[in-house]
Amino acid sequence: MTSKKLQELLGKAQGELTLLYEIGNALRTTLDFDETLTIILTGVTAHHGLAFNRAGIFLVDPEQKQLIGRMGIGPENGEGSSFHKTITSLRVPMTERAGGLAAMSALQGSPIEVVTAADQKKAAMDPVLRALQSTSCVLVPLKGREDEVVGLIFADNRITRTPISRESFRLMALLAAHAGLAIENARTYQGALRQADLDPMTQLWNRGAFQRTLMETLSSAGQSQQPASLLLADLDHFKEYNDQVGHLGGDKGLKAVARLLKETARSEDYVARFGGEEFALILPKTTKINALKLAERIRLAMDQTALPLTLSLGVATFPQDAHETEQLIQAADQALYEAKKQGRNRVVIA
C-alpha cells in the first residue's frame, strides 16, 4: 500500500471518529427528546456527517406492537416538510408480513441494505418504502440497554441518487449504537418529567401543570388573537358520597370521573385535577359558545353513568371574561359558584 493511500485511509478514519465523537458528545448534552432525535438525524444528513439526503426515525410502541414514525429530516426541513409529514403519518405493524423490511429489521435487530437490483425489486412491494418513494436505502435498528430495539433509522439518497457506500452503511451502524442509548435515556427522562406533572390518583395533569399550561395557552391565544376557554367542574355532594362509600370508594369515584372527562374532552384539550373533587379543562382556540356545548356534553355524560353523582360547571373565556390567568380562574370559579347556588347539576357561564 502506498504512503499516499495509507494517508487517505488514516484521514478518512480520523474523520469518521471525529464525526462519531461530535455526535456522541452532542447527545450527552441533552435529555430533551425532540432535540435528541434532531441531533441523530442531523448527523445522518448533514454535509459534514454521513450526508444522506433524507433520514427518518421510527420508534417502537410495544403496547400497540408497531413502529411509529416520529421525525424526518430531508432537503425540505422542519415540521411542515412533506417528508416529515409522511414519516410521522406512518404506523408500521411489527410483523414481517404486514410491516415489510422495516418490521423485519426491528424484529431481527439487524440492519438491512436495499441497494441491489434484487433488493429494489422487493422494495417496490414494501409498504414503507413505497410510501417514502424510496428504491435504495438503509434501515438500521436502534438498540437500548440489554440490546432491546427501541426504534429504527431509515436513510436514503433519493434526491441525488448517489449510491450508498459500504462506508456509509458501516458508519450508520456505529452511530445507531450511540443513538439507541440516547433515545432510551431521553425517553426515561421524559417519562419522569411527565409523572411529576400528573396527579398520582387520577393520572390527570396536576395543579402545577395546569397553572403552567393555562399560562402558556393564554400567551399563545393573545399572540394569535384567538379565544381560549376554561371549564371548572365540581362534583356535587361528594362529601356525603365519600362518607357513605368510604375513602376507597370515593377514590374509585374520582378515577371514574377522571376517565369520563378524558373520554369526553377533545384531543386538543388539557384535563387536570384542580384539587379535591374539582377538575379543570383548558380549551385552546375555543369560543364561549363552544365551551358551553362541551361543558353541557360533560354534564349529560355524567348523568348517564352509574355513579350517584352529578357535576356543576363554570365556564370563562379569554379575552372576553379576563386577560390574565388568575382572573380567568376567578371568573370560571365564580360561574361554578353560581351553578352550585342555582341548584347544582348545571352549567353557568361567566
List the catalytic residue out of 277, 296, 324, 338.
Answer: 277
Q: Do 3-196 and 207-349 share a fold?
A: no
Domain ranges of the chain: 3-196, 207-349
Q: Identify the weakest region by mean pLDDT among 6-15, 157-166, 216-225.
A: 6-15
The share of the chain scoring above pLDDT 70, in percent, equals 89
Task: Give catalytic status of residue 277 as yes or no.
Answer: yes
Whole-number pLDDT of residue 141: 95
Q: Which three cell numbers stand for residue 170?
A: 458501516
pLDDT of residue 121: 78
Mean pLDDT, range 19-26, rounded to an integer: 61
Q: What is the pLDDT of residue 4?
A: 62
pLDDT in tens, 286-302: 999 999 999 999 999 99
CATH superfamily ID and name for 207-349: Reverse transcriptase/Diguanylate cyclase domain (3.30.70.270)
User: If pLDDT is split at 50, 70 and 90, which confidence band does 19 have?
Assistant: low
Q: What is the pTM of this model?
A: 0.60
* The CATH number of the domain covering residues in 3-196: 3.30.450.40
Q: Which of the pair, 79 or 212, is modelled with greater confidence?
A: 212
SS3 275: strand
Which of 30-39, 252-261, 292-301 has the weakest average pLDDT? 30-39
Q: What is the pLDDT of residue 78?
A: 54
Highest-scoring range by mean pLDDT, 72-76, 120-124, 234-238: 234-238
Mapped onto helix, strand or coil, the DSSP state of residue 250 is helix
* Cα–Cα distance, 299 to 286 (Å, whole number): 18
Judged against a pLDDT cut of 80, whether residue 21 lies above it is answered with no
Residue 265 has pLDDT above 90, yes or no: yes
Over residues 252-257, the mean pLDDT reads 93
**Do the Cβ atoms of 46 and 55 come closer than 8 Å?**
no
Sign of CA dihedral 316, 318, 255, 278: negative
**Helix ranges (DSSP H) in 132-287:** 166-196, 207-224, 238-264
Q: What mean pLDDT do residues 37-43 have?
A: 86
Provide φ and ψ at 216, rounded to 5°. Answer: -65, -40
Question: Can you tell me the distance from the alpha carbon of 210 to that of 204, in angstroms, rounded to the nearest whole number?
Answer: 10
Find the mean pLDDT for residues 65-81: 81
Model confidence at 5, pLDDT cuts 50, 70, 90, reads low
| Mean pLDDT score across all residues of the chain | 87
Q: Name 61's bridge partners.
A: 66
- Pick the more confident residue, 133 or 170: 133
Comparing 79 with 181, the larger pLDDT belongs to 181
Q: Which residues contact 267 (CB under 8 A, 6 or more apart)?
A: none
Task: Please check the confidence at residue 83 and state whether its pLDDT lies above 70.
Answer: yes
225: alpha, beta or left, given left = phi > 0 and alpha = psi -120 to 50?
left
Mean pLDDT confidence for 69-88: 82
- Between 46 and 202, name the one with better pLDDT: 202
**Position 199 pLDDT exceeds 60:** yes
Place 157 in a pLDDT band, splitting at 50, 70 and 90: very high
